[in-house]
């Protein structure tokens, strides 16, 4: 069965829009992008469009590739203090002369809609109320929609990034799954995946997970987005693995829309405090 | 082979003492204890004694069981601002009317020698320079001493506490082990432990890990401290498991002394900034 991220995201976006309009909530988010990384520009455009659709206002700060540390620091400081701004999103990666995490951590954690600041990730680690980063939260929302209870499951997360692998592993552990974090130095990946009830793949490597590596009835969540011969593909060999999987996300229209939805929900959530 | 925590801790304490005395470093740590929890009093006494031995001064604040939130808040605030105090340790658990993490998080993370604040655990999560909590760091130090390289190992951590299980899992992942976090909701623990190259048990349940659950040549780190018939015991059935293990920590004299040593090293480290 397909875990239809697009459909679920649309439903949740609809509910969010209804909440925003019927309660007449004013939400305004600042989006900062530095330079002209093509993929980043597309992501930002999509976020602005999605926000508009549910009634969230965005203000775009498109800074020059050569922006100095001081300029960016000052802008984030100004937005932190601006009471009309509810959320701040700093699109990464920044140009190489600017350190991503240094500037992410300048954002007031109460406006950190990406959930990337040290405080918000520390709060995730300590199981305190927080803003979770959008992709991990979107994955949990998707599993929830299909009433997939991960408690007691043998779960394998492939990839240990701070924005997907590690937080999704933490969230699954909090939901009582037994989680193994695999990565590039894992010796025999299939040793872990073959016994897994749930596999989350977040590596960025096409066809990393193939049918021979999974058991019948597995649940597969594919976070990868790879462009192969002009076509979008995930990290999973969908054709093969989907024959054995009980549930599987497609790429596109799986985790992607759930990520955008979770980001929008974060903006709403952050306004209420946490 | 026994991983002799007492011996390694003694060696490291000796080096630390030498550094402190020969560089004439003044280190002063405040220890706060609220109430008269018997185990806590013993722990605090041992920490003071250990600190003294390596040349670290401690100031004990032994507060009344009925201490109010305000009194404790004010004390921590005062110590944060006191330039003569390098480190602050708040002994937990606090009496039930005081929330442990609320007060831990009042400690300036730059004086947080336990590494329990949200910022320091967030920094661990984000792989930024930080103060690691003493038990996980002590375990890594012990493995290092015996030249045990965990990269590529199949590691199983049993227990998901914020002060041992989760941080040790993160440190092992950073060292390129493939880590599975098991806990009370794990369905078949031996399924995981039987394939493990390295097992860290931090649950607090005597004889949780038995010989039939491990493979020949396993490395076992036992964090448990249980009092059974007046005797200290770990979480591992030492007699059985030690026959199959390549390396194993005893209880006592294994992780315990390494924890105290790591705490003392934290005090030294924190003085230098991180």
Chain B CB contacts of A169 under 8 Å are: 181
B139, B83: one domain: no
B207, B173: one domain: yes
Is B157 contained in some domain? yes
Last residue of a domain, which of A61, A92, A109? A109
Is A209 contained in some domain? yes
Query: What residue ranges of chain B have pLDDT lower than 50?
Result: none
pLDDT at A272: 82
Last residue of a domain, which of B108, B142, B175? B108
A30 — phi, psi (to 5°)? -95, 130
B98, B183: one domain: no
Is B211 contained in some domain? yes
Query: What residue ranges of chain A have pLDDT lower than 70?
Result: none
Residue of chain A minimizing CA distance to B109: A119
A151, A228: one domain: yes
pLDDT at A4: 98
B55, B150: one domain: no
Is B262 contained in some domain? no
Q: Is the dihedral of CA A74, A80, A81, A82 positive or negative?
A: positive
Minimum distance, in Å, between the CA of residue A108 and any CA atom of chain B: 13
B164, B85: one domain: no
Is A1 contained in some domain? no
Residue of chain A minimizing CA distance to B170: A166
Minimum distance, in Å, between the CA of residue B32 and any CA atom of chain A: 22
Domain that holds residue A51: 24-109
pLDDT at B274: 76
pLDDT at A134: 97
Cα(B55)–Cα(B26) distance, rounded to whole angstroms? Answer: 8
Q: Tens digit of pLDDT for each residue in A29-55?
A: 999 999 999 999 999 999 999 999 999
Cβ-defined contact of A178 to B185 (cutoff 8 Å): yes
Cα(A111)–Cα(B48) distance, rounded to whole angstroms? Answer: 42
B154, B199: one domain: yes
A2 — phi, psi (to 5°)? -80, 130
Cα(B132)–Cα(B45) distance, rounded to whole angstroms? Answer: 22
Residue B114 falls in the annotated catalytic set: yes
- CATH number of the domain enclosing B186: 3.40.50.720
Per the structure, how many domains does chain A have? Answer: 2
Chain B residues touching chain A at CB-CB below 8 Å:
101, 117-128, 151-152, 154, 160, 162, 166, 169-170, 173, 176, 178-183, 185-187, 191-192, 195
Is A6 contained in some domain? no
Minimum distance, in Å, between the CA of residue B188 and any CA atom of chain A: 9
Model pTM score: 0.96
Residue A212 falls in the annotated catalytic set: no
A167, A229: one domain: yes
Is A92 contained in some domain? yes
Cβ-defined contact of B152 to A187 (cutoff 8 Å): yes
B250, B141: one domain: yes
- CATH number of the domain enclosing B44: 3.40.50.10860
Is B225 contained in some domain? yes
A81, A193: one domain: no
pLDDT at B150: 98
> Contact A89/A47 with Cβ under 8 angstroms?
yes
Chain A residues touching chain B at CB-CB below 8 Å:
101, 117-128, 151-152, 154, 160, 162, 166, 169-170, 173, 176, 178-183, 185-187, 191-192, 195
Cα(B230)–Cα(A195) distance, rounded to whole angstroms? Answer: 42
Last residue of a domain, which of B108, B142, B161? B108
SS3 state of residue B230: coil
A61, A138: one domain: no
pLDDT at A273: 78
Chain A CB contacts of B159 under 8 Å are: none
Cβ-defined contact of A178 to B195 (cutoff 8 Å): no
Q: Tens digit of pLDDT for each residue in A57-83?
A: 999 999 999 999 999 999 999 999 999
Here the ipTM equals: 0.94
Tokens of B210: 């038995």
Q: Region of A19 please: left (phi>0), alpha (psi -120 to 50) or beta.
A: alpha
pLDDT at B272: 82
B186, B245: one domain: yes
> Contact A250/A2 with Cβ under 8 angstroms?
yes
């Amino acid at each position: 069965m397909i875990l239809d991220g697009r459909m679920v995201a649309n439903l949740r976006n609809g509910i969010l829009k209804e909440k925003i309009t019927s309660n007449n909530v004013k939400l305004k988010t600042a989006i900062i992008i530095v330079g002209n990384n093509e993929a980043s520009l597309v992501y930002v455009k999509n976020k602005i469009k999605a926000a508009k659709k549910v009634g969230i206002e965005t203000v775009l700060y498109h800074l020059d590739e050569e922006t100095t540390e001081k300029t960016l620091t000052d802008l984030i400081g100004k937005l932190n203090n601006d009471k009309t701004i509810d959320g701040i999103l700093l699109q990464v990666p920044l140009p190489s002369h600017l350190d991503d995490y240094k500037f992410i951590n300048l954002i007031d954690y109460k406006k950190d809609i990406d959930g990337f600041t040290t405080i918000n990730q520390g709060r995730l680690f300590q199981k305190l109320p927080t803003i979770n980063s959008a992709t991990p939260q979107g994955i949990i929302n998707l599993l929830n929609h299909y009433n997939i209870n991960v408690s007691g499951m043998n779960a394998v997360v492939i990839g240990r990034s701070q924005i997907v692998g590690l937080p999704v592993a933490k969230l699954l552990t909090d939901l009582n799954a037994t989680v193994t974090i695999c990565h590039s130095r894992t010796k025999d990946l299939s040793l872990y995946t073959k016994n897994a009830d749930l596999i989350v793949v977040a590596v960025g490597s096409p066809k990393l997970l193939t049918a021979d590596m999974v058991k019948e009835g597995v649940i597969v969540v594919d976070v990868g987005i790879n462009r192969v011969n002009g076509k979008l593909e995930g990290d999973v060999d969908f054709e093969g693995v989907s024959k054995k999987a009980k549930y599987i996300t497609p790429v596109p229209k799986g985790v992607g829309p759930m990520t955008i939805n979770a980001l929008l929900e974060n903006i709403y959530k952050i306004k209420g405090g946490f």
